Amino acid sequence: MKTSSKLTALAMAAAMTLSLTACTVGGNTGGNSQTSANPSASQPAEKESYVVGICQLAPHDALDAATQGFKDAITAALGDAVEFKEGNAGGESNNCATIIDGFLADNVDLILANATASLQAAASATDTVPVLGTAVTNYGIALDLDSTEDGVLGGNISGTSDLAPLDQQADLLEELFPAAEYPNVGLVYCSAEPNSIFQVETIQGYLEEKGYTCAQYAFTDVNDLSSVTQTACDNSDVIYIPTDNTAANNAETIANVVIPAGVPVIAGESGICSGCGVATLSIDYYELGQITGEMAVKILTGEENASDMAIAYDTTLTKMYNEANCQALGITPPEGYEPIA
């Protein structure tokens, strides 16, 4: 473990201060309003070592990459002064609460909530320990806040969003599948994921402005995923799937329906596209995790408070295509698209 006389001195000073004054805990971020919190509720005292809890909703490529980027960024800055405690909910939202409760029992200094369900569990469990979300599309939707314009949330929560601009995703769909030839777009998503609903409703507006006829096809969980996808295929010329965790966990199931049906899928991110899509406009989830990790370092070392941090984005967007699925459907992407590795 690394030591620092400066850090030790600061830790002693912080301890003396705490012995003389009482700390006020932060505001509630899980309700219907956004409130500012006492900075002490979102910033641990600077010290020589830190424990960071990582709650990841499910094991799939995008979330795995975000977690790895997060850990790499923190390790690059703080070395072996950080201990990571990791929990994977296996795609079961209810498991997130158990994982978060374990972190709180272990007195972690900061929590990474990877995906919406993890964020919701963390927000419900604590308003004092700093929480950073990642791979969350919209924090206002996820936390039932008054505003969906993600900025500074206040309280103990901040993080990064994985939203690629939906108007640009609509442009990509139009570039590959113009409305004159592919007039009917099926919007397939999980009805249990509020951020998926937000994306579908938003992109539907953009697509209808371009002359498409859109229909929503919501599945409840993996049990009705195949049947709902088949119905979408029967009535659509092209399908759009947003950044949806259930779809990402079951992309192969979707592929087993859409490829034989000959219906192309535009996906909201590269992980889903690598399984069942033909093309996507995607962020880099590893980079997103690194951005989140850099935010965590600032919180842990006392440079900034979570309550003052705006939601951050990966602004590097890449047009990507699934070579195997494109070949299977006889689609040739135009120049400027990169193959998904």
Return the half-sphere exposure (C-beta side, CA atoms, 13 A cut-off) of residue 117: 21
Query: Which stretches within 158-223 are classed as H helix?
Result: 166-176, 194-209
Is 58 in contact with 279 (CB distance < 8 Å)? no
Q: What is the rounded CA–CA span in Å between residue 123 and residue 28? A: 8
Angle between helices 251-261 and 225-235 (to 10 degrees): 30
Tell the CATH topology of 5-162+285-310: Rossmann fold (3.40.50)
Indicate the CATH number for domain 166-282+318-339. Answer: 3.40.50.2300
End-to-end Cα separation, the chain, in angstroms? 37
Residue limits of CATH 3.40.50.2300 in the chain: 5-162+285-310, 166-282+318-339
> Going residue by residue through the chain (341 aa), what tens digit of pLDDT does each one get?
433 333 333 333 343 333 333 333 333 333 333 333 344 444 555 578 999 999 999 998 899 999 999 999 999 999 999 999 999 999 999 999 999 999 999 999 999 999 999 999 999 999 999 999 999 999 999 999 987 777 899 999 999 999 989 999 999 999 999 999 999 999 999 999 999 999 999 999 999 999 999 999 999 999 999 999 999 999 999 999 999 999 999 999 999 999 999 999 999 999 999 999 999 999 999 999 999 999 999 999 999 999 999 999 999 999 999 999 999 999 999 999 999 97
Q: Are 48 and 1 in contact (CB under 8 A)?
A: yes
Compute how many other C-beta atoms are within 10 angstroms of the C-beta atom of residue 2. 10
Residue 307: enclosing H or E segment and its boundaries?
none
Q: Which of 230, 206, 205, 201 is nearest to 216 (CA)?
A: 201
Angle formed at CA 122 by CA 73 and CA 125, multiple of 5 degrees: 140
Three-class DSSP category at 66: helix
